[in-house]
Amino acid sequence: MDIRTSFATQVYAQARPATQPASNVAGPAGALGGFAQALGSFADTLKAGEATASSAMTGGADPHALVEALAASELAVETAVTLRDKVVEAYQEILRMPV
């Protein structure tokens, strides 16, 4: 058996498949990572608001903390709705472009 064939087989077996995404991708896919991070932050804000609201109903949190949590949740939802509206507007603008 030729040593070069054995080496090529080992390298091929250890190579990352083409369908598997690279973990350190920069550029557009890296921007999607930022979007996923913002989406996670949005979900964390809503969870914290829900936890504070349920804690306030059982008497575990003061009203000031409840108001702060509700304000943060409201801001997060308004930001998400504004972002959604901008994406829909951009999509409609693309649809109006002549082909």
Taking the model in full, what pTM does it have?
0.59
Average pLDDT for 17-21: 57
CA torsion through residues 47, 40, 75, 91, sign: negative
Half-sphere exposure of residue 9, counting CA atoms within 13 Å on the CB side? 6
Residue 28 and residue 34 in contact, taking contact as beta carbons nearer than 8 Å: no
Read off the pLDDT band of 94 (50, 70, 90): very high
18 near 24, Cβ under 8 Å? no
| Nearest by Cα to 50 from 27, 71, 69 | 69
User: pLDDT tens, 20-63?
Assistant: 555 655 555 555 678 788 888 888 999 999 999 998 888 888 88
pLDDT digits (tens, 9 = 90+) for 73-92: 999 999 999 999 999 999 99
How many whole angstroms separate alpha carbon 7 and alpha carbon 15?
A: 12
